[in-house]
């Protein structure tokens, strides 16, 4: 199943997508993770992306689209994938559609993780991410076994620069301005499924699991 996860910052796209990816053995492709890797590696792309990301702004559409195009050409994306954080704007969705057509492929499902801003601000403030493997924790909802240390790889946990309060507020404004239009865009195409993202994450996961396990295409309005 080729799927996209939409939702405001902090709705749980990364956490849910990474658990589904492990269970259903399809890649979890996050443009944010790819960009953070590029920043860490000090590449030209990383240098370009850093100024946008740290302030909570979007990188140019063309940059995000090129990243996805290259990534979808890899073999592991042939049997389905979960896109997390892409597309972020209607122009990106339009370019993505064209890429899929050129590849003779299509999108099967768009999950919209819905959540109130109040819950999300609280969540993002407590989010900690492993600087080595990217695993996501939360100080209250999903704490690591040892404070400040990743359960999986022992790496140091850190707060993302764009999870600072001012950047969080800015990311919400960017989401409202640029990304929320995608909800109608995909709804009109019969691809959107709304899933609550402000309940305990295990409950959201169970709903998503059923959707992914019962994939017969009927729910998405396909023939």
Q: Which residues bind ligand AMP (CB under 6 A)?
A: 9, 30-32, 35, 52-53, 56-59, 64, 85-88, 92, 162, 171
Provide, rounded to whole angstroms, the least separation between the CB of residue 85 and ligand AMP. Answer: 3
Helix axes 44-54, 31-41, angle to 10 degrees: 120
Q: Catalytic site residue 88? A: yes
Give 71 or 150: the residue with its C-beta nearer to ligand AMP: 71
Encoding tokens for residue 200? 């305990």
Contact of 30 with 23, CB cutoff 8 Å: no
Out of 36, 71, 123, 127, which one is annotated catalytic? 127
Helix axes 61-72, 90-103, angle to 10 degrees: 30
Provide, rounded to whole angstroms, the least separation between the CB of residue 223 and ligand AMP. Answer: 29
Encoding tokens for residue 77? 């994306």
Q: Catalytic site residue 123? A: no
Provide, rounded to whole angstroms, the least separation between the CB of residue 214 and ligand AMP. Answer: 27
Out of 71, 88, 128, 178, which one is annotated catalytic? 88
CB-nearest residue to ligand AMP? 32
Q: Catalytic site residue 106? A: no
Contact of 156 with 130, CB cutoff 8 Å: yes
Residues contacting residue 157 through CB under 8 Å, at least 6 positions apart: 128, 129, 130, 131, 137, 144, 148, 149, 150
Give 39 or 215: the residue with its C-beta nearer to ligand AMP: 39
* Distance from C-alpha of 202 to C-alpha of 195, rounded to nearest angstrom: 13
Give 128 or 171: the residue with its C-beta nearer to ligand AMP: 171
* Distance from C-alpha of 116 to C-alpha of 220, rounded to nearest angstrom: 25
Give 24 or 56: the residue with its C-beta nearer to ligand AMP: 56
Encoding tokens for residue 128? 């900690």
Provide, rounded to whole angstroms, the least separation between the CB of residue 32 and ligand AMP. Answer: 2
Q: Catalytic site residue 13? A: yes
> Which residues are catalytic, by number?
13, 88, 127, 160, 171
């Amino acid at each position: 199943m080729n799927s996209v996860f939409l939702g405001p910052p902090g709705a749980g796209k990364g956490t849910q997508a990474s658990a589904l990816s492990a269970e259903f053995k399809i890649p979890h492709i996050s443009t944010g993770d790819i960009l953070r890797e590029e920043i860490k590696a000090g590449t030209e792309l990383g240098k370009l992306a850093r100024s946008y990301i740290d302030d909570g702004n979007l990188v140019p559409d063309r940059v995000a689209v090129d990243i996805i195009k290259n990534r979808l050409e890899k073999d592991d994306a042939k049997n389905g994938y979960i896109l997390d954080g892409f597309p972020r704007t209607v122009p990106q969705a339009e370019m993505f559609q064209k890429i899929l057509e050129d590849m003779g492929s299509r999108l099967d499902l768009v999950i919209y993780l819905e959540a109130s801003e109040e819950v999300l601000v609280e969540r993002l403030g407590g989010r900690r991410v492993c600087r080595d493997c990217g695993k996501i924790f939360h100080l209250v909802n999903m704490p690591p076994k040892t404070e400040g240390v990743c359960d999986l790889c022992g790496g140091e946990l850190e707060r993302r620069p764009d999870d600072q309060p001012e950047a969080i507020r800015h990311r919400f404004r960017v989401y409202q301005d640029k990304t929320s239009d995608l909800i109608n865009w995909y709804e009109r195409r019969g691809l959107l499924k709304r899933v609550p993202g402000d309940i305990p994450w295990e409950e959201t996961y169970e709903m998503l699991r059923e959707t992914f396990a019962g994939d017969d295409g009927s729910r998405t309005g396909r023939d």
